[in-house]
Amino acid sequence: MSDKNTVFYRGNTQVSVDFSAGEISSDGAVVLLEKLERKHKLIEYFSQRIPDRRDPFRTVHSVEKLLKQRVFTLMQGYEDTNDVEHLKNDPLFQDILDGEMASQPTLSRFENSLGKHGIFNVCNAWVDRYVDSLQGRTEIIIDIDATDDPTYGKQQLSMFNGYYGQFMYNELFFHDGGTGQIIMPVLRPGNSHSNKWYVAILKRVLQKIRAAYPQIRVIIRADSGFSCPAFYQLADECNLKFVIGMASNEVLKRKVNRAEKAVSHLYVSEGKKHQHFMAHTYQAKSWHKPQQCYSKVESTGKGLNTRHIVSNLPGKDGRTIYFEVYVKRGETSENRIKEVKNMCFSDRLSNHGFWANFSRLLISSLAYEMFLLLKSAIGKTNVEQAKKWCIDTIRMRLLKVGATLKKTKRRIYYQLSKAFVYQDLFRQLLTQ
């Protein structure tokens, strides 16, 4: 070939490749993230709660810069600290971070520097920020759920969990059922039961909420793994309303036996769909008093499905409680955990130390909170389809856009691709 840059021919047309273009970044929307941070100061808020024990005369990168770099790179889809090796020449990140990016060893030391007391400070700050956001609200729903995070190395407190059948960490999340905010994320050893520590943590969260808003109505929503005697005792002490799933047992099976036989005879045998609800009281031996229980005996068209919930919501029947309250946790809790875990990479807990991995969970949760602010901003635009986007879709369609940077003495130009489909949405977000 006469031209060494020629890679192939398309008919008589020569196709060539070289590296003569300007410095182009695939992360053009990082300027939007910086605008979002300047408006809400979320990263600044948490960076002020992280102690910095480094020698100030040998410090190059501030805590705020390190935290911003980790959060922004996570939001742009870079999962690990060593991804900085692929970004160190990126002109947009260098501009946003006001200089060179911190190296992978620096970021690793940062994640390992928080320790137990630093983690506790950040968790308390997390709850305080949530409480500050409750002004004007008369009722909140707190969704509680856990998720497994499989581990493949020798991380501290990575243990075998018999229920999941794997070595793992156990992540616990408290979400606001109305806004999707993370009230607090918690990392637990892998062999923890779903309800480990959650009542003690919930009690401290409620103390902060009730100290600021004593009249606010609190509803707790969770699946059967969180039904335990300590919770029902706390519910009475703190005047909580709740809707909690209940695992089936021999006593409950006897209570619904007659209904199951009737539904099986009338509907299951004919492959028809039908739902039958029944209310009854139930008290486990370890509970301090009986609770109102609701059972759903359902013919799904392919078989029999029986579910139980425990609730003290007044003025509602079992069907209303189940469909208008309980099942909504699938969207407000389970789908939000999927976004934190799979789209903000809280499953990348590969540090050796337990507290360093807890730091990573907090950073991923912080990236999720930034996305939540971005979702709120998208909701104020007139681009209706964008209001339904999940985090992965926002990243792919809005944040990953080609751009170049041009600097003069008085101005900095971010020049985004002319082919960018969502230019109008991007402009609306920048002008908010």
pLDDT band at 2, cuts 50/70/90? Answer: low
Mean pLDDT of 252-273: 92
pLDDT band at 409, cuts 50/70/90? Answer: confident
Q: Which residues contact 37 (CB under 8 A, 6 or more apart)?
A: 43, 44, 68, 370
Instruction: List, as one string, the DSSP characters of 204-260.
Output: HHHHHHHHH-TT-EEEEEE-GGG--HHHHHHHHHTT-EEEEEE---HHHHHHHHHHH
Q: What are phi and psi of 106, to 5 degrees?
A: -65, -45
pLDDT of residue 1: 46
pLDDT band at 3, cuts 50/70/90? Answer: low
Nearest-10 Cα torsion for 390, 344, 163, 123 = -120
CA distance 286 to 156: 33
Domain chopping of the chain, boundaries:
21-113+353-430, 116-247+313-343
CA distance 194 to 209: 23
Mean pLDDT of 426-430: 95
Say what the pTM is: 0.94
Mean pLDDT of 260-283: 92
User: What percent of the chain stands above pLDDT 70?
Assistant: 99
pLDDT band at 314, cuts 50/70/90? Answer: very high
**pLDDT tens digits, residue range 349-394?**
999 999 999 999 999 999 999 999 999 999 999 999 999 999 999 9
Which amino acid is located at 65 in the chain? K
Class of the domain covering 116-247+313-343: alpha beta
Mean pLDDT of 206-215: 96
